[in-house]
Amino acid sequence: MAYADYEFYSATYSGNTVSEGDFTRLAAKASAYIDKVTFGRASQHTDDERLKNCCCELCEIYSRTDDSGGMLKQSETVGSWSYSLNSAAADKTAEDMAYSVCRTWLPAEWLYRGVGRE
């Protein structure tokens, strides 16, 4: 289940990077990543706008890195076409960016990896 739909992405989030045709696939991937980092806690808050915004921003990251194996484009030249990916270990990968987005949008208790006390 995707946490955001294209209508939310285009109208509320005001996104225009991802096409409607690609959004369903990317939203499913983004939602699976959110479930992974929240240990399933996000699924209890499907109406939370922070969750939907996080899903939309992750879709934009995945659309930029989808065809490059998770690496970000470092440079692109048009004349005599050249394309290079950022593969240095010190630079941010798509995974780093995705987790950073989750830390920005989602509450810390959803991302907590420890054991909760009740």
Query: Using H for helix, E for strand and C for coil, what is the string for 1-52?
Result: CCCCCHHHHHHHCCCCCCCHHHHHHHHHHHHHHHHHHHCCHHHHCCCCHHHH
Decide if 10 is inside a domain: yes
Number of domains in the chain: 1
What residue numbers bound the domain in which 71 lies?
Answer: 6-111
Angle at which helix 49-65 crosses helix 94-105, to 10 degrees, equals: 170
Q: How many alpha carbons lie under 13 Å from residue 67 in its C-beta half-sphere?
A: 6
pLDDT in tens, 97-115: 899 999 999 999 999 987 7
Q: Are 102 and 34 in contact (CB under 8 A)?
A: yes
* 88 within domain boundaries: yes
Does this model's pTM top 0.95? My answer is no
Q: Count the alpha carbons within 13 Å of 49 in the hemisphere toward its beta carbon.
A: 4
pLDDT tens-digit map of 18-41? 999 999 999 999 999 999 999 999
Task: Note whether residue 33 is domain-resident.
Answer: yes
For residue 44, is pLDDT > 90?
Answer: yes
Residues paired with 77 in a beta bridge:
82
The pLDDT value given to residue 66 = 74
Q: Residue 30 domain-assigned?
A: yes
Q: Evaluate whether residue 16 is within a structural domain.
A: yes
Within a domain: residue 117?
no
Q: Is residue 87 part of a domain?
A: yes
In this structure, is residue 37 part of a structural domain? Answer: yes
